[in-house]
Copies of this chain bind each other. A is one copy, B any other.
C-alpha cells in the first residue's frame, strides 16, 4: 500500500542515458569540455562510470541539440559556437521569447505571477550578495518559467534548447552580466502580471536586445564553426 507507493517513487531512477546526457550538457556548458575537444566514447564512458551504449545514445541526442558534432568513423567533438551563430541565436530567441512573454501575459495565473515574483526576490538577494553563480541560475529559472507559463510545449522546448546554448556562450566568454539585467527582468514580470500581451512582448524584446548587445561585447572572436550534420529527411 503505502510502502508500494514509496517503493515506486523510490525506484524512480531515470535511465543512465539521460543522466549521461544531462551531465554531458552540463560539462560542455561549464567548459569542462572545451569546444573542439575530442570526446571518445571510451573516455566518456569512464568519466561517467557507464558502458559505451548509454554514452552513444546520449551523444546522438547531444548532436541533435547542437552541443557536439559527430563525424562518421571519426567520433564526436564538442561543437564550436561561432560569433556568427550567436547573432543567429539571438535573432531566433527574440522571436520566440517575445511570443512566450505575450502568451505568458495572457495566460498567467496569480500563482504563476507569484512564482515569478519569488524568483525575482531571490535574484535580488543573490545579486546583493554578489553570488554570481546563483544569479545565473535564477536567471535561467526565470526565463524557463516564463516559457513554461506560455503553455506552448513547442515554444518552450525549442526556446529552452536555445537558452542552454546562450548560457554556454556566456560561460565560455566568462561574461556574467547578470546583475545588470535584473532590472529588465522586473519590467518583464510586471508586464506579464498586467496581462498586457503587447507590453510583455515589448519588454521581452528590450531585454533580449540588451542581452544580445552584452553578449557581443564579451564575444572575443569566433571559435570556429558549428555544423551540425543532422540527417534530416
Among the stretches A121-129, A151-159, A190-198, the one at the interface with B is: A151-159
- Mask, A154-198, CB within 8 Å of B = 1, is 110110111010000000000000000000000000000000000
- Across-interface contacts of A153 in B (CB, < 8 A): 85, 88, 226-228
Instruction: Say whether A209 faces chain B, with CB atoms less than 8 Å apart.
Output: no
Docked-complex contact A233 and B89, CB < 8 angstroms: no
Interface centre among A21, A154, A227 (most CB of B within 10 A): A154
Docked-complex contact B88 and A95, CB < 8 angstroms: no
Chain B residue nearest to A86 in the complex (CB)? B154
Number of copies: 2
Instruction: Say whether A15 faces chain B, with CB atoms less than 8 Å apart.
Output: yes
Given contacts A64-B61, A64-B65, A73-B11, contact A157 B95 (CB under 8 A): no
Q: Which of A1-37 contact B (CB under 8 A)?
A: 10-11, 14-15, 17-18, 21-22, 25-26, 29
Docked-complex contact A22 and B231, CB < 8 angstroms: yes
Instruction: Say whether A72 faces chain B, with CB atoms less than 8 Å apart.
Output: yes
For the complex formed, measure the closest distance between the CB of A61 and the CB atoms of chain B, giving whole angstroms: 5
Interface centre among A11, A72, A88, A233 (most CB of B within 10 A): A233
Instruction: Say whether A230 faces chain B, with CB atoms less than 8 Å apart.
Output: yes
- Across-interface contacts of A26 in B (CB, < 8 A): 233
- Across-interface contacts of A207 in B (CB, < 8 A): none
Binding site for B on A (CB under 8 A): 10-11, 14-15, 17-18, 21-22, 25-26, 29, 53, 56-58, 60-61, 63-66, 72-73, 85, 88-89, 91-92, 95-96, 99, 103, 152-155, 157-158, 160-162, 164, 226-228, 230-233
11 sampled A-B residue pairs with Cβ under 8 A: A14-B72, A14-B231, A17-B60, A22-B233, A53-B53, A60-B61, A61-B63, A88-B155, A91-B103, A92-B155, A95-B99
